[in-house]
Amino acid sequence: MKAAELLIKCLENEGVEYIFGVPGEENIDVMDALHDSTIQFILTRHETSAAFMAGGYGRLTGKPGVCLATLGPGATNLLTGVANANMDLCPIVAITGQAGLGRQHKVSHQYYDMVSVYEKVTKWNAQIKTPDIVPEVVRKAFQVATQEKTGATHIELPEDIAGMEVDSSPLNLVSHQLSEADEPVINQAAEMIEQASHPLILAGNGVTRGNAAEALKSLVQKTNLPVVHTFMGKGAVPWTDEHSLLTAGIGGDDYITCGFDESDLVIAIGFDMAEYSPKSWNPEGQTPVLHIDTQEAEIDACYPVQLQVVGNLQENILKLKEGLSEKERDLTWVSHVRRKAFSELESFQNDTSFPVKPQKIISDLRAAMKEDSIVISDVGAHKMWMARMYHCYQPNSCLISNGLASMGVAVPSAIAAKLVHPERQVVAVCGDGSFQMTSAELETAKRLNVPIVILLWRDEGYGLIEWHQMKAFNRSSYIKFGNPDFGQLANSYGFEALKVAETNELKPTIEKALSMNKPVLIDCPVDYRENMKLTEKLGNIIC
Residues 393 and 530 in one domain: yes
The count of structural domains within the chain is 3
Query: Taking a C-beta distance cutoff of 8 angstroms, is the pair 213, 235 a contact?
Result: yes
Q: Going residue by residue through the chain (543 aa), what tens digit of pLDDT does each one get?
A: 999 999 999 999 999 999 999 999 999 999 999 999 999 999 999 999 999 999 999 999 999 999 999 999 999 999 999 999 999 999 999 999 987 776 777 677 767 898 999 999 999 999 999 999 999 999 999 999 999 999 999 999 999 999 999 999 999 998 888 899 999 999 999 999 999 999 999 999 999 999 999 999 999 999 999 999 999 999 999 999 999 999 987 765 677 777 788 899 999 999 998 888 999 899 999 999 999 999 999 999 999 999 999 999 999 999 999 999 888 888 888 888 888 888 888 889 999 999 999 999 999 999 999 999 999 999 999 999 999 899 999 999 999 999 899 999 999 999 999 999 999 999 999 999 999 999 999 999 999 999 999 999 999 999 999 989 998 999 999 999 999 999 999 999 999 999 999 999 999 999 999 999 999 999 999 999 888 888 777 655 555
User: Residue ranges of the alpha helices (H) in 106-154?
Assistant: 114-119, 134-146
Q: What residue numbers bound the domain in which 148 lies?
A: 3-162
Give the strand order in the sheet containing 374-377.
398-400, 374-377, 426-431, 453-458, 520-525, 496-499
With respect to residue 342, please indicate whether it lies within any of the assigned structural domains: no
Do 377 and 432 reside in the same domain of the chain? yes
Contact 356, 527 (CB under 8 A): yes
For 287, phi then psi, to 5°, come to: -85, 120
- CA distances to 321, 373, 374 from 393, in Å: 22, 10, 11
CATH code of 28's domain: 3.40.50.970
Judgement on whether residues 320 and 361 belong to the same structural domain of the protein = no
User: Same domain for 93 and 190?
Assistant: no
Same-domain check for residues 65 and 199 = no
Tell me: do 241 and 353 sit in the same domain: no
Q: Are 365 and 505 contained in the same domain?
A: yes
My answer on whether 259 and 407 are in the same domain is no
Grouping H, G, I as helix, E, B as strand and the rest as coil, residue 207 is helix
Specify if 176 maps to a domain.
Answer: no
Whether residue 429 contacts residue 457, with contact meaning beta carbons closer than 8 Å, is answered with yes
Reported pTM: 0.95
8 Å CB contact between 10 and 64:
no
CB-based contact 427:375 (threshold 8 Å): yes
Tell whether 421 and 493 lie within a shared domain: yes
Report which of 376, 388, 305 is spatially closest to residue 344, judged by C-alpha positions: 388
Q: Tell me how far apart the alpha carbons of residues 284 and 147 are, in angstroms, rounded to a whole number.
A: 33
* Number of other residues whose CB lies within 10 A of the CB of residue 542: 5
Does residue 419 sit within a domain?
A: yes
Helices (H), 150-256: 159-162, 183-195, 205-209, 213-223
